[in-house]
């Protein structure tokens, strides 16, 4: 029959076996599933096959070690130890009678995490590129005069205060309408909170010209959340330009890569917006000066052209008038000649009329002459008259009817 042991005795036995079997430290690769700092740092480590957890264990970094390890890790990676980070750690395997199996972490290699973060960032960017999202927000045209600014930040963040101060107290007196979309900017809930804020911006797109993402300043803080596929996709799909101003220079995050523009600090992001408006004002002033100069030059050219045309018109008018006067003089001389010709013709006509009047048969009859007709034909010679013919003689006054009894052929009167 098996020996009966208390639970404590059994756990003591397990402890002795574990400590005998695992009497050295191990280098372990794992992902931090949870991280809770209460003087000591308590973690849950997992090993995943894609999205499936295939191993899990609790771990601890004692307070005296945690201060050194966390400081070195943050200085090297620019991020804090937190959920979702893959680490290469040195640990011993321990078993406690009450708290069970755990790893005691003695050191963490920051270079491994940097590499893992870079690999993860690369994989996310490759996925976004494959989906055609990497340059989508970059291709949006940034407004010429951005005045309605959506800001994703924490209301208490120093970066938000810096951004607002530079926007509202700019040296040119430009007025900006700013709307805060508050979000958690670091820690485990940051990514979901930022994605939610981006969704609210998408709902207010008709009221916004641009969106700026800023976080707190000061020392190095958690940037891990900005290497998120969900944040990258949300920025890429936002139909207005996004400025990433999360305040770091060491690395370029996924959020930086997909944003329309990247600023090193929140203050620099504010300067980008103010400079954009100033550039537009400068272009307007330049165009105004160019327009005034152009109008003046055009007016001067037109005045010179009009003066030249006026002189040409004056000369042409004078020449036309002189030419017309000459033609009128020629016409008047022609008229005078025509009048003389007409008068001469009139006198000639009057003379001819007088001659015609003298030759009028009536006037001839009036002078005592007469016309004799034989069978209604004028009689010019006696040769055409026979004895016994009836003649009609027309006088100035009246007619005489006669009958031929005899005829004598005499000489014609001249």
Lowest mean pLDDT among 72-86, 201-215, 351-365: 351-365
Higher pLDDT, 384 or 132: 132
Looking at the domain assignment, is residue 347 inside a domain?
no
CATH of the domain at 87: 2.40.50.140
pTM over 0.85: no
Looking at the domain assignment, is residue 357 inside a domain?
no
Instruction: Examine the domain organization and report whether 246 and 139 are in the same domain.
Output: yes
Give me the chain's average pLDDT, please.
87
Predicted confidence at residue 148, as pLDDT, reads 96
Which of 77, 97, 129 is the C-terminal boundary of a domain? Answer: 129
Looking at the domain assignment, is residue 169 inside a domain?
yes
Higher pLDDT, 216 or 329: 329
pLDDT digits (tens, 9 = 90+) for 6-20: 888 888 888 888 888
Instruction: Examine the domain organization and report whether 238 and 141 are in the same domain.
Output: yes
Instruction: Please report, rounded to a whole number, the percentage of residues in the chain having pLDDT higher than 90.
Output: 44
d(CA 151, CA 200): 11
Burial-class residue 223 by CB neighbours within 10 Å (0-12, 13-18, 19+): buried
Instruction: Examine the domain organization and report whether 120 and 140 are in the same domain.
Output: no
Looking at the domain assignment, is residue 289 inside a domain?
no
* Helix H or strand E segment including 399: strand 399-403
Looking at the domain assignment, is residue 284 inside a domain?
no
d(CA 403, CA 414): 26
d(CA 407, CA 125): 154
Instruction: Examine the domain organization and report whether 152 and 106 are in the same domain.
Output: no
Domain of 376, in residue numbers:
364-403
Domain count, the chain: 3
Looking at the domain assignment, is residue 387 inside a domain?
yes
Looking at the domain assignment, is residue 96 inside a domain?
yes
Instruction: Examine the domain organization and report whether 146 and 203 are in the same domain.
Output: yes
Whether the CB-CB separation of 272 and 257 falls below 8 Å is answered with no
């Amino acid at each position: 029959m098996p020996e009966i042991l208390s639970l404590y005795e059994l756990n003591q036995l397990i402890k002795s076996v574990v400590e005998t079997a695992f009497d050295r430290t191990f280098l372990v690769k794992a992902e931090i599933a949870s991280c809770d700092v209460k003087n000591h740092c308590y973690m849950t480590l997992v090993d995943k096959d894609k999205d499936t957890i295939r191993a899990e264990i609790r771990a601890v970094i004692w307070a005296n070690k945690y201060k050194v390890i966390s400081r070195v890790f943050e200085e090297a990676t620019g991020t804090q130890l937190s959920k979702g980070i893959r680490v290469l750690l040195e640990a011993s395997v321990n078993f406690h009678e009450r708290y069970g199996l755990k790893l005691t972490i003695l050191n963490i290699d920051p270079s491994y995490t940097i590499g893992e973060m870079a690999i993860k960032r690369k994989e996310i960017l490759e996925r976004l590129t494959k989906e055609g999202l990497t340059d989508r927000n970059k291709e949006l045209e940034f407004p010429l005069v951005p005045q309605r600014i959506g800001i994703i930040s924490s209301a208490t963040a120093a970066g938000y205060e810096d951004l607002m101060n530079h926007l509202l107290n700019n040296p040119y007196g430009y007025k900006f309408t700013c709307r805060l979309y508050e979000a958690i900017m670091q820690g485990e809930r940051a990514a979901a909170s930022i994605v939610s804020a981006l969704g609210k911006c998408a709902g207010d797109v008709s009221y916004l010209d641009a969106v700026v993402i800023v976080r707190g300043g000061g020392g190095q803080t958690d940037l891990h959340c900005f290497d998120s596929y969900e944040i990258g996709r949300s920025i890429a799909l936002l139909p207005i330009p996004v400025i990433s101003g999360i305040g770091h220079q060491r690395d370029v995050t996924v959020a930086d890569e997909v944003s329309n523009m990247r600023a090193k600090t929140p203050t620099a992001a504010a300067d980008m917006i103010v400079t954009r408006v100033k550039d537009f004002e400068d272009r307007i002033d330049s165009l105004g000066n160019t327009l005034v100069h152009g109008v003046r030059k055009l007016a001067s050219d037109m005045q010179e052209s009009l003066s030249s045309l006026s002189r040409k018109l004056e000369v042409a008018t004078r020449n036309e008038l002189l030419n017309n006067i000459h033609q009128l003089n020629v016409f008047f001389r022609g008229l005078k000649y025509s009048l003389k010709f007409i008068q001469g013709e009139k006198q000639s006509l009057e003379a001819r009329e007088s001659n015609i009047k003298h030759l009028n048969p009536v006037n001839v009859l009036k002078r005592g002459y007469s016309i004799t007709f034989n069978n209604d034909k004028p009689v010019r010679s006696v040769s055409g008259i026979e004895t016994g013919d009836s003649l009609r003689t027309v006088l100035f006054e009246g007619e005489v009817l006669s009958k031929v009894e005899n005829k004598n052929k005499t000489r014609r009167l001249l």
